[in-house]
Each structure stands twice: as C-alpha cells, then as structure tokens.
Amino acid sequence: MTRIAAVLATVAGLVLLLACVNLAGMLLARAADRRREVGIRLALGAGRGQLVRQLMTESLLLAVTSGALGFALAILLCRLIGAWHPIVTLPINTALHPDRAVFGFVVAAVLSAALLFGLAPALQAVRVVLMPSLKNEPAAGRLRRWSIRDILVAAQIAISVVLAICSVLMIRSEHHALSLKLGVQPEGAVAVAVNLNMQGYGIDRIRAFNTNLLARASAAPGIASAGLVNFLPLTLMENNGTISRPDRPVPKPWERRSAIIYNISPGYFRAAGTRLLAGRDFDARDRPGSPFFVIVNEACAHALFGAESPLGRRVRLGENPSDPGMEIAGVVEDGKYEYLAEAPHPVVYMPLAFTGGQVTTVVARSSLPPRQVTELLRKTVLDLDPELTLVSAGSLADQLQLALLPVRIVAIVLGSFGGLALAMAATGLFALIAYAVSRRTREIGIRMALGARRGQVLSSVVARTLLLCSLGALTGALMALGAGKALSAVLYGVSPSDPATWGVAFLIVTGIALLACWQPAARAIRIDPALTLREE
C-alpha cells in the first residue's frame, strides 16, 4: 500500500505541475499583451523591480485564491469519501481529515507555484524595448526558433501522455483483474464466517459444531452444495508452513519452500467452485482415527515432484526429519490466495475434521439470490448457538472485494486525474494557439492578400503545433516507461509497455490536440485580408 500511495502522490504532483504549466503559458500570453502598459509605466519612471513585484503580487493573489478554493474542495471530497462504507467489513479507515501538515503542504505548494511559474512571465513582461512597446509594435530582433510558450506546450503534452498511458494501463489492468483465474468461482456462492475460539469453544466443541453446521447447511432448501473452510482466499488471513519431501533430507533454511495451509471439509471444493484435477476429494473417510490424507494444488505438486504424479506420494509439513509426512489424495487447480499479482503459490488442504480451527467459514452454492442464501446460512449458524457473533457474511464476490480494492482505487484516481489532465491540456493548447493566431492576424492577412491559399495558412498554423505535440509525446513516452515500472505492483495481466495501451493513449492525446487547435486554425483561414489591412 505504501507503493500505491507513492504512485498516487506522484500522479497528483503531475496534475499540479500540468496546471501550473498551463497557467504559466496563459500568463506569458497575458504579459505579451501588456507590453504597451509596461512601456508606459517605464516611461513614467517606474523601475523594473517595481513592475516585477507588481506582477508577482498578481500571480500570488491568483495562486492563493486558487489554493483556497482547492483546499475547500478537498475538504468536501474528504467528507464524501469518509461517508463511503465498503460493502463488506474491510480493515481500512475511509475517514480523511486534513490536518496542519496537509495545510502546510498546501501553503508550500501555492507559494512555490506562484514563485516558480509566475516569475518567468513577470521577467519577460518587463524585458521590453521602450519605443516599440509605446507604439504597440511587435518586438524586433527577438525572433527565436523556440519560445518559452513552445516549451510549455510540449511540457503539457508530455505530462498528458504520461497520465493518459498510466490511466489506460490501470483501466485495462482492472478489466484483467476481474477475469483472473482465482481458483474459486465467486458467482452464485455465499460465505458466512464465525470465530469459535473467541466464543470460548474448545477443540472438541469446535469439531462438533462444524459437523452439525455442515450437515444442516448441506440439507438446507435451495443449497446445491456446502462446505467449510477456516479462511477464504484473498482475505489477508492465512496459515503458512514449510513443505518438503519426507524421502529427502530436511532442506537448508535458504532452500525451504513455504505453503499456505487451509483446513477444509468435504464439499468445500464444489461449493467454492475449485476444480479437482486428479485424485479424490475429502469425504466421510477423512475423520479422526482414519489415515491422514491431504490435497495439494498444482504449484505444490510441481514444486515437490516436478512432472511426476503426486498421488500416493507424501508431503512433510515442518522441519522434523523423522516425520513420515502425509499422503496426497488429490490435486486441485491453482488460484490466488494472498494477492492478485502473486505467482503460483503452493497450497496444502487438510481435513477440517482432524484439525478443527479457530475460524469456521461455511460456503454454500445456490441459484437463489445471495441475500436470501446469506440469511439462510446466518439462521443456520445462530440456530446452533444464538450467542455467536458473525465475523462476516455475504456473497463470495463481495467478500473478495478487498483483493481488488488497490487496483480499483488506483484505476479510479488515475482515470479521474487522466481525464482532468487531458481537459487542462486541451484548454491550454486552445488558449495558446488562439493567442498565437490573434497575434498573427496582420501577418496572415498580408499573406492571403498576396495570394496565399487557405491550405497554406492552415498548415502554417497547425504544423508547428503538431511538431510541438510530437516532441512532447516523445518526451512523455520516455517518462511513461519509468511510470509504468512504478505501477507494475498493481498491474494484472498487462505489461507496462503494452503496445495496445500505448496506441490508445497516443490516439487520445493526438485527438485532444487536434480538437484544441482546430477552432483557432479554422478562424485563421476565415480572416478577411481587406478588413485586416484596413484596420492596420
């Protein structure tokens, strides 16, 4: 979660940087329009330092006002998030309270933005030649191949490309996460859990309770299959142990393999939707006094026996070299047990009748509505002991939401920030291109009067913008490579350099850039040469 928080903080910083770059471009355009005002002030005796302080005061006022509005909006959003409650009980706190540290960061960010992105426009505004500025003539001798505004346009595109790529990556990742092979089939299954150990149950009483609960749940009307397990996968609760082959020496500490251990009853695999690939399931034969059999998943079988069949072989739990191990009765499919991005992990299933367990979770599969099945299981549990307190209850799909929570949070935040970034980039591009066209009205009018075609005028306006967009997109792509690696911890089934993702992101940014420059370009080709020259 720390890495996810770092990613979200970085994305928020990029959005703030994009907003500052956008604003700096507009301030530069405004400074160019105030050349005559600045020239008059200088002619009347104002010092350049005084003018810089005035312009910086205006930038600071703008930044403080925006920061105050943003902080008020953040408080409102925090209250909305705090009012949200997950579908099931999750070990997270959604209450957010901006404190002094947050307020201090906001103040620092506002002052830094005003200083860093208001100083350059202020310095450029006072760097004028007196006589041309008084006549409101274009600045002479200052033509540059690349201006600061060009750099800002490219920066906006670069940041937008990074956020667009990250947003599309997370959206595709969430889509893949929903279709991952979990090893269970959540649809149509309901689970109710109770902690018997906290209720003062001893091991014998726990075993008796589990036997009665399984019998009643299996016989309940509308229940197709039912089973018991100590902990559900992907719920941040598991029991781990060391596994090895008893026909070989106990592995050295650096060679040991660990496995997740689940205690299950007969019928659990059918109720959870886990496929049995080989061997047999637990049944009435697996009870105290009978031989101890276990079931393993594919990853465990491969880790211990390679391509050989594990049926009839033994697995040792623990580090006792004299332990003969337990015979393997069956093999089930792999799944996800701790988190969605995990590699195939060994798992050993043990008979619940032998082991008991502190927590008992009854899983039932039914075609009835989940709420109805949940109430049915709740009543079944409380009929056995009305004093029990349920740990969790609800559909299996709802109870597995915790595993999807990180990717969904990042997808929602990145998607929102990506859309906001594209909107700001489009606004900034439109404003800067519209300003550039307005400054070139006289030039365009003269060109058209001398016979320039509309296509030539259009290309002269759009070509430079497309060049800047290409440079910005290339820079953003290089930045996105590093951003994709940072997101790899919460990417499921999608590579950070996925070509389809990058193609979609580039198409989105290109489309936004073309839409932003189309209206100013169309206005340029509608300029009336006669009217323009008459006004000049």
Q: What is the pLDDT of residues 91-113, one digit of tens each?
A: 555 566 777 887 888 788 788 87
Answer with the residue of higher pLDDT: 332 or 240: 332
Dist. CA 268–CA 275, nearest whole Å: 11
Cα(316)–Cα(164) distance, integer angstroms: 50
pLDDT for residue 452: 74
Assign 365 a pLDDT band (cuts: 50, 70, 90).
Answer: very high
Model confidence, pTM:
0.65
Among all chains, which residue has been given the structure tokens 């496929």?
Answer: 275
Average pLDDT of span 218-231: 91
Measured CA angle at 467 (ends 466, 468), to 5 deg:
90
In angstroms, rounded to a whole number, what is the distance separating the alpha carbons of residues 425 and 67?
20
Is the pLDDT confidence value at 535 over 70? no
Asked whether residue 330 carries a pLDDT value surpassing 90, the answer given is yes
Average pLDDT of the chain is 80
Residues 527, 441 contacting (CB under 8 angstroms): yes
> Which is more confidently placed, 484 or 33?
484
For residue 288, give Cα distances in angstroms to 209, 271, 359: 15, 23, 19
Counts of helices then strands in the chain (DSSP H, E): 17, 11
Instruction: Answer whether residue 533 shows pLDDT above 70.
Output: no
- Look up residue 200 and give its two tokens: 């003062």
Amino acid at 268: Y
pLDDT, mean of residues 15-43? 72
Summarize pLDDT for 247-306 with one digit per residue, the tens. Answer: 888 888 888 889 999 999 999 999 999 999 999 999 888 888 888 899 999 999 999 998
Q: In this structure, what token pair is assigned to residue 187?
A: 């649809």
Q: Percent of the chain having pLDDT more than 90?
A: 20
Per-residue pLDDT tens for 434-486? 766 666 667 777 777 777 777 777 777 777 777 878 888 888 888 888 777 77
Over residues 310-323, mean pLDDT:
89
Instruction: Check pLDDT > 90 for residue 363.
Output: yes
Residue 24's H or E segment, with its range, is helix 2-33
With cut-offs at 50, 70 and 90, classify the pLDDT of residue 394: confident
Averaged over 405-423, what is the pLDDT?
Answer: 76
Residue 512: pLDDT over 70: yes
Highest-scoring range by mean pLDDT, 69-78, 385-394, 463-472: 385-394
Q: Percent helix, strand and coil across the chain, each rounded to 5?
A: 60, 10, 30
How confident is the model over 158-163, as a mean pLDDT? 84
Tokens found for residue 444: 């365009």
227: its two tokens? 């089973």
Give the β-pairing of 359-366 and 326-332: unpaired
Mean of the pLDDT values across residues 35-40?
A: 69
Please report which confidence band the pLDDT of residue 82 belongs to, taking 50, 70 and 90 as the band edges: low
**pLDDT tens figures, 136-153:** 555 544 444 566 777 777
pLDDT (average), residues 408-419: 76
The tokens for 241 are: 């142990």
Helix (H, G, I), strand (E, B) or coil at 197: helix
Q: Who has greater pLDDT, 489 or 240?
A: 240
Q: Which tokens sit at 351? A: 């008979």
Q: Alpha-carbon distance 186 to 400, whole Å?
A: 8
Q: Which of 79-88, 308-317, 519-528 has the lowest mean pLDDT?
A: 79-88
**Average pLDDT score over residue span 335-351:** 86
Q: Tell me the two tokens of residue 148.
A: 């600061």
222 pLDDT above the threshold of 50: yes
Quick check: 329 pLDDT over 90?
Answer: yes
Question: What is the band of 35 on the pLDDT scale with cuts at 50, 70, 90?
Answer: low
